[in-house]
Every structure is written in structure tokens, then in C-alpha cells.
Structure 1
């Protein structure tokens, strides 16, 4: 639990210097360095860490296996769902940096960074809660000012509405008269406040749909957003996507599968899953060739004679599936790049927003001016096709005319298409499966417990925050991967 309260060393040094004597301060002032820490410097740190870590999870870690995008053919623990307790230090470290930014912005009166901090706070706390359920929230990060070193766990049903409030306040702040956001510190939107407002309101839509089962006013609030896009702007095209490009010049700013970040052996042990390959192949989907490489030897496969062959999750000896490496597909070289226009650290996309609204509209819960569930469903597919440069090919090949693609008004079809569009973009494939049961994944033979519903709390909680941890379980339930969090019940 210790890192939940970690303060950046540079801030510790700065605040510590305040206690020094005046004479000592005068002797130790460097005229070439700023005496103040500006919040925009911490914005850059928080923003890039948030996007990069979220994307790394989506490609490299458990959400990739739980979302049935990746099958590991070595070190297969993720696929077998034998996950055990999961450390959350990284999540709270980002939140700590973000809080420091907001505190500095409050002290200096720079409300633009308070607004951006609220958005990043909501994104990171929501993701942490999505993974674990009930988590420390209201008392987290309070060790310095309130000496709270054993924070209580907040129930998800109370945490989520508060995050909605933070996002609403961020939108309202950014819609007012504020100083400019430093362009160089904003690696995502280059200081454009309207883009951040779109992200805040689009993220609200994601959270509202996710919590709609247990939050009676969810669709009322969604309707308020889509009914007044001047007050609550949302994503309107791929240009609004909340994502950061990789520079690719060093490992730290490269795509997590790229050679500067990882050896080829790391890339090669991550094969596309059978579910995603079959879904693309059976629909004659032009994204197949962008994402999936053909097998090296199309003749001689033991169980699958196709040119594109994915590996099932949680099967014995996955490296030997279909006769071994020559007869199973890799991901394309795109995903072994350091950077590419089609590779970004993605937090949310326009395609996702289209599918969110299509689902709510299809269920009869909201109306969207000038749109139907079908039009939004098609826009969601089209936006993702365009992102990968195959939108015209999809039209030329009559992709949308196929019976499996032509809109039929079912949740199954809508979520399956959303799942395809969310390929390696966040944990949404896994989270939608938990929420809807679609796509209808079949657990592999070595994962009899099925796909997990959550992460198990960190071991450190039992050592450093035992009382709060035990009290939380009396409300939340057993600390198991199968326990349902509030919005899934």
C-alpha cells in the first residue's frame, strides 16, 4: 500500500527547501533554474504514463488474453487465468503524480490543469476500479496532508458517480475562460481545450453505459450529453481519439511490441487468438491482412487448413497447435514496429463512442438527433476501417452487404463488431464480455474456471492495510477472480 502515497522526489525536495533558513536559500539559488515546479510538467508525465501503461496492458498483459485477442504460446499463465494477486502500485503512482499536478495548479490558480487533472483522475480511478472493484479512493493519496496511511476502500457504487461528477466539472471548467494549455506539455491534443472536453464527455458515456445496470439515471445522463453537444461535445471523428503517438526512437517511447522495447522473442510468443482470426476470416474482413500474418506453410496444418490460423487460448502445448510455428499465424510486422501511424497508445476512440451510442439507442434508452442504432453501428465499423486504411476496400469488397455484417438489431452482433474494432485498444473487449456475455467465448480446457471477472487485490494490502482490506471484503465479497463487482451484479 505504500506507493499509493508516494510523492515525487522533486516535490519532496522543493517542499523541504521551504523549511531552510533564509540565508541558506540565498546561497543555494541557481539563477539558471526555476524555483517553482509548474503543473504542466506533471501533466506531461501523468498523461504519457497513463496512455502508455493502458496500451501496454491491452497488448502485453492480462486484458489481451481475457479479451481473446492474444494467445501466449510460451509463459502461458495469462491465458490459463492463474493470475493470483495483482499489484496496483503503478495505478496509484500515476494518480499520485496527477494529484500533485492538481495541487500545484490550485495553488497557482491555473484552472486549466485542474480540469485536465480531473479527467486523468477519472480515467485512472475508473480503470483501477474496473479491474478490482471496490478500491481506496476518498482516503487514498492523503498521507501527506491528512496522515492517512491506512485508507478505507470505497464501494464502486459510490466511487463511479463521483468520477462522473469530476468529468462534468472538467467539461464545465474547460468551457469557460481559462488560460491556455501548454501545447508542448500536452502530447495528446496539443493544448486544444475542446478536444479535452470531447474526451471528458465521451469517457462519461463509457462509464454511464458500464454502470447502467445499477445506476437508474444512467441513460438520463447519457441523453443529457447527446442532447446538447454544444454544452457537452463528444468525439465526432478519428481526429478526436484520445491517443498518443509513439516516437519510436528509444524503448521508453516505442510501441510495447517493438524491437527497441522488447526482443523479437517477446513479440513472437504472442500469437493472435483463434477467436479474433476466425471472426475476421469468416467475415472476409479487410482488417485481417493489416493485423494478422498468413502462415509460413499453408500446407500440412493438422487441424486448420486456412491461410490465417489463430491459436486457441488455454490449450495444452499451444506452440504445437496445428503442427507448430509454420502452420500458425503471427501478428503482422506492424505490431513489431517501434512506431507507425496505425500504432498509438490509445485510451478511447471515436469508434467506441459510436458503438456505445448504438447500444443505448438500440435498447430504446436514448435518442440521437439524425442517427439510428444502425447508422451508429455502421459508423463505428467504418471509423475503425478508416483508422487502418481499409475503409474503401471494405466498400469495394461489399463487406457491409454480408449477412453476418448487415445490421440485424441484436446485441450479439453489435458487441461482436465493437470487439473487433477494439482490437488491442484497451481492456474494453474483456469488460464488454463481462457485462454482456458477448462475444460468446468458450474457455479453453486448461482454464476450467472461465474468464476472470476481476483482479485479486495486491498481497501488500494484507501486510500494510489489513484492517481496511478485511472490512472491505465484508461488503464486496470474497477476494476471488470470480466475484462480481457492483456494476456486474
Structure 2
């Protein structure tokens, strides 16, 4: 199914749902056209745009630089962390479409779309809060119904528990409903309610770990999920991954590095970072050749003569590093295709769930029947290796026996492997670094900050159109700076 532009769809929704002036209702009704939108059509749009935009951030935008997967060799602002105010219009546009889907589902008595909508809503609102901190939540999306033009900001410590409850409710609803969502509209899970429940509960694990420093019930709630996998199923293999394929037929449905979406020159501005390339080479990691291309010329490199060369972040003239383009690696060819079976719009993976559980078991916060922190750590690595078709190569090369890979019980090692497994699969590397300090990324000499940004700065438009609520928010949140810690990081 093709991706529908959000702005166009929102325009249609406004036209369909706007109230007519009294006395004009009848003449403004087209008897030959439906006055409602079926939820399944809105689901496909909400799901595709959620997955595609989240993935585009992870490859094309600031999370890719903050996670040290990508180095920009042109237009280097992302790498230098001089980010400035960021827009959230696209985030709220997706939430508006999803909200309309749930509203139509309620009116048409198809509750399965409400349940799935709650999961997508929680994913999008959580990501917004992860990026900014306190956000408009309870009064957001209520312009049409309640004419709220200036929504208040809700504190993160209010938003996150509400989203966690919404995910729990969605799981419980899907467990009792007899009808699933339309399989053709659900481009991720084909309408399978069990897979949606696994996503909801796995997402709960991610979110609970993220806020565990500041949220007392976090590990108790995680243990409740783990103790009853019938009631609270979670990801059990790569087949459960929350990800959407790229069709590659038009630019809007193509991987953002492909020629239909952005062209080769845009692809060529993004090089693999030195940190990820070095980490893979030091471990003789078989994923290296899957993700990274060899340099065009092995002779003439000025600082590095290895076959794979990543570019450091925030350095002068990064395009000239190591003697120039022919002496630095590109991403592999699969990242410059319009679609590829191993390049999808990924929201969450089984590998990530393994590492989440490994971290919590290792810290002594939860127990997992039949598992140890060590076995879960290896499960996470193995899931990633299998996804990219190099699991047997890893075994044959005794990858797991290397001192740098063999489990040693440290958080640094565990998060390091989680970072590698999450290559270009979301903002988790940046968020994990904020939370744990690992991996220990190198900022670069031209970095505008002495540390990785802790958040996005609120959009400029908020000061122009919602200034009173914006200023009220800052009295509780703190200065609107990249360095201000949000609730769960304090």
C-alpha cells in the first residue's frame, strides 16, 4: 500500500469532519459520497507514516549522529550538535490521523482499531516525550472537539505512566476481541492480534526500563509481564519484530537512502561513523561487510589503511578524511536501494528485547525463568546475527569466544552489543547513552557541546502561537536547552 501524505489526509479529515453552518447541512451533503472514513484506511496511513518517519530519523536525521552510526561529510550540523529548535508538527500530524482512526472506530463499533490505535499512539507520544521531555498530551489533538487552541504541557512523569496504562489496556482488549484488524490494511502484522499484543508488551518493557531510575514500580511491572507470557506475550523471535517493508515503487514508499527517495548524492553525504566501523572491526564482526562497503582504494590512505574506514564525527573537512572519498567507506549497497529485505522501517526488534531483559537480570532487578543475563545477552547478539544472515559465520569464526565479546557481566559490554545490534534501527543508541553513559562516544573537536544533547529544544512556533503554555511549562521543566535533563534522567 502506498504511503499517503499526512498533510493531504489531514486536509481531507478536516473537510469531512468540520461542522456546517446551521441551515446548510442538507445542501452540503453529497448523496453519492461517504461522509465517514473507514478505520482500516486510516490505520494503514498511521502505521506506515509512524514506522517510516521513525526510521528516517534514525538514518537521515539527528538520532543517527547522536547514536554514532552516521557521520555527515556535508551539511555537518547534526554531528556538531548545534541543533537549535526542532519542529514536532510531523509527530502531531501522525497522532492526529491515528486519533481520527480511533474516533471513527468508536463510532463504527470496531474496537480492534481502537486497541491498535492505542499502541501506535503510545509509541508516538513516548517518542515525542523522549525527544523533548514535557509535551502537550491531555489537551493535544482536541482542536476539533473542544476548540483547544493552546494546549497545556503535561509533565513527563504524567505522560509516561498514562501511556504505559494505555498499552496494558490495548493488550487486554486485543486478548478478548474476536475480530482482528483488516489484514490488507495492517502492513506490519497482517491483522494478527497476538503480534500486536507482543509489540505492546515489548514496548512496555522498553519504556519501563527507560523510566526505571525515577519510576518506583518499573521493575515490579516488568516482572509482572515476564511472569505471565500468556497474559502478556512479548517478542520471541525476529518474526515478531515491529517493522514495515519498503515497497520501493515511488519515493514516498522507498528507503530514505535510495535513489527514488533522495538520490545518490544525498546517500553519499552520509558515511558510517568511525566509532561503529572500529567497533565492528575490533570484534571481527561478520555484520561489518553486510552494513559497510570497503574503501575504493587500499593505497594512499593518510591515517588508516584498513579496508573499512569510518569517518570521525565533528572534525574539520570530514569529506577529506583519510585522503578523501576513495579512502573512506560508504554504507553498503543495500542502504542505497529503494527496498531490500534486510532494510525495513523498524520500530522495535526481538534483539532489543533480549538486551533489555539481560540488563535488568544482570542488575538483579528481575528474573526470567530458564534464562540468565549471560544467555539473554547472547540471545540478543544471535538474533541480530540471524537477522542479517551471518549467524553461522559468527559461530564458525568463534565470534563469541573473543575476549571483547565473551560475556563479562558489565553494563558497558552489554550496552555496547545492544548498540551494534541496533545499527540504524532507531534512536535507542542515543537514548541508552543518555541513560547509562554507554557506549562512551567521542564528541569530536568541532562539537558545539561538551556532551551529547539530552533533548530537543521546543519548536519556535510554540513561542509564537502557544507562548503562555510554553512559559508555564518551563517553570516546571527547566530551561529550554539541549542540556536540560528530563524527568526520567534526573
**Same-fold call, TM cutoff 0.5:** yes
Query: For 2:243, what is the secondary structure of its paired residue?
Result: strand
Residues 44-83 of structure 1 mapped to structure 2, 5 A cutoff:
44-83=44-83
Contact 2:42 2:101 survives alignment (8 Å): yes
> CA offsets per residue over residues 449-479 of structure 1, 9 Å max, x none?
1311110000000000001101111111110
Residues 218-297 of structure 1 mapped to structure 2, 5 A cutoff:
218-297=218-297
User: In 2, Cα distance between the equivalents of 1:119 and 1:262?
Assistant: 30
1:482 maps to 483
> CA offsets per residue over residues 290-334 of structure 1, 9 Å max, x none?
011111111221111211110000000001111111111111111
1:320 maps to 320
> CA offsets per residue over residues 141-181 of structure 1, 9 Å max, x none?
11121121111111101110000000000000000033231
Q: Report deviation, 1:23.
A: 5.5
Contact 1:255 1:339 survives alignment (8 Å): yes
Contact 1:5 1:142 survives alignment (8 Å): no
User: In 2, Cα distance between the equivalents of 1:7 and 1:251?
Assistant: 18
1:393 maps to 393
| Structure 2 residue 356 is matched with structure 1 residue 348 | no
Query: For 2:27, what is the secondary structure of its paired residue?
Result: helix
> CA offsets per residue over residues 81-116 of structure 1, 9 Å max, x none?
111000000000000111111111111111100001
Query: For 2:176, what is the secondary structure of its paired residue?
Result: coil
| Structure 2 residue 402 is matched with structure 1 residue 402 | yes
User: In 2, Cα distance between the equivalents of 1:136 and 1:15?
Assistant: 23
Deviates more, 1:138-147 or 1:193-202: 138-147
Structure 2 runs not aligned, ≥5 long: 1-5
Closer, same or farther in 2 for the Cα pair 1:88/1:22, shift >3 Å? Answer: closer
> CA offsets per residue over residues 354-384 of structure 1, 9 Å max, x none?
0000000000000011111011100100000
1:299 maps to 299
Query: For 1:141, what is the secondary structure of its paired residue?
Result: coil
Residues 143-154 of structure 1 mapped to structure 2, 5 A cutoff:
143-154=143-154
Closer, same or farther in 2 for the Cα pair 1:181/1:458, shift >3 Å? Answer: same
Q: Report deviation, 1:25.
A: 6.3
User: In 2, Cα distance between the equivalents of 1:16 and 1:452?
Assistant: 41
> CA offsets per residue over residues 33-79 of structure 1, 9 Å max, x none?
54431111111110000000000000000000000000000000000
User: In 1, Cα distance between the equivalents of 2:10 and 2:283?
Assistant: 50
1:471 maps to 472
Query: For 1:8, what is the secondary structure of its paired residue?
Result: helix
2:13 maps to 11
Q: Report deviation, 1:24.
A: 3.2
User: In 1, Cα distance between the equivalents of 2:256 and 2:391?
Assistant: 26
User: In 2, Cα distance between the equivalents of 1:226 and 1:171?
Assistant: 14
Deviates more, 1:439-448 or 1:199-208: 439-448
Query: For 1:243, what is the secondary structure of its paired residue?
Result: strand
Contact 1:79 1:313 survives alignment (8 Å): yes
Q: Report deviation, 1:18.
A: 6.7
Contact 2:10 2:93 survives alignment (8 Å): no
Query: For 1:93, what is the secondary structure of its paired residue?
Result: helix
User: In 2, Cα distance between the equivalents of 1:79 and 1:104?
Assistant: 42
| Structure 2 residue 209 is matched with structure 1 residue 213 | no
User: In 1, Cα distance between the equivalents of 2:443 and 2:104?
Assistant: 48
Contact 1:6 1:93 survives alignment (8 Å): no
Q: Report deviation, 1:22.
A: 7.1
User: In 2, Cα distance between the equivalents of 1:431 and 1:176?
Assistant: 34
2:452 maps to 451
Query: For 2:384, what is the secondary structure of its paired residue?
Result: helix
Contact 1:267 1:336 survives alignment (8 Å): yes
1:114 maps to 114
Contact 2:455 2:482 survives alignment (8 Å): yes
1:204 maps to 204
CA RMSD of aligned residues (A): 1.6
User: In 1, Cα distance between the equivalents of 2:330 and 2:268?
Assistant: 7
Q: Report deviation, 1:409.
A: 0.4
Contact 2:351 2:383 survives alignment (8 Å): yes
Query: For 2:186, what is the secondary structure of its paired residue?
Result: coil
Length-normalised TM-score, structure 1: 0.96
Query: For 2:190, what is the secondary structure of its paired residue?
Result: coil
Contact 1:7 1:96 survives alignment (8 Å): no
Query: For 2:244, what is the secondary structure of its paired residue?
Result: strand
Q: Report deviation, 1:16.
A: 4.3
| Structure 2 residue 42 is matched with structure 1 residue 24 | no
Contact 1:111 1:178 survives alignment (8 Å): no
User: In 1, Cα distance between the equivalents of 2:440 and 2:279?
Assistant: 12
User: In 2, Cα distance between the equivalents of 1:440 and 1:76?
Assistant: 21
2:182 maps to 182
Query: For 1:96, what is the secondary structure of its paired residue?
Result: helix
2:416 maps to 416
